[in-house]
Structures are given as structure tokens and as C-alpha cells.
Amino acid sequence: MAIEIRLDHMLLERKMTLTELAERVGITVPNLSILKTGKARALRLSTLDAVCRELQCQPGDLIIWVDSAT
């Protein structure tokens, strides 16, 4: 089982750069990059809230579960 972060897909759909999102949310680009690449071990709900607010999406649009057994 694996959790996949689809931040890169949402940024492409919204035609927004990681830098632009970082400025709008108030998070550093390196920290957002860690989230984007799936290397984050935790995610604050306040961060998720801010990202969803700026991308105008639902948490389920950003975070999906992928069955790694297949």
C-alpha cells in the first residue's frame, strides 16, 4: 500500500509553478518540493488546507492511495 501525492498534476492543471504556490501558501519551495516528490513523511492539516485553498481542490484531489500489491 502506498500514498501518492499528486501535487505536480494539480500544478499542471492550474498552470501554476511550485514557486508561485509556495509564495501564496507561505511555505518554502524546498518543503513543497519534498511534498511534491513524495518524500514527505508527514503533512500538517494546516498545510493541506492552505494548498487546497490556493489550488481550489479537495484533499482527495491531492492525496490518493495506490495498491502496491498490483
Judged against a pLDDT cut of 90, whether residue 1 lies above it is answered with no
Domain boundaries, the chain: 2-66
* pLDDT given at position 54: 97
Is residue 69 very low, low, confident or very high in pLDDT (cuts 50, 70, 90)? confident
The chain-wide mean pLDDT, for the chain, equals 93
Distance from the Cα of residue 49 to its chain's centroid: 10
Judged against a pLDDT cut of 80, whether residue 70 lies above it is answered with no
Judged against a pLDDT cut of 90, whether residue 10 lies above it is answered with yes
End-to-end, the C-alpha distance of the chain in Å comes to 10
Distance CA 4, CA 17 (A): 19
Is 1.10.260.40 the CATH number for 2-66? yes
- The pTM of this model reads 0.88
Judged against a pLDDT cut of 90, whether residue 43 lies above it is answered with yes
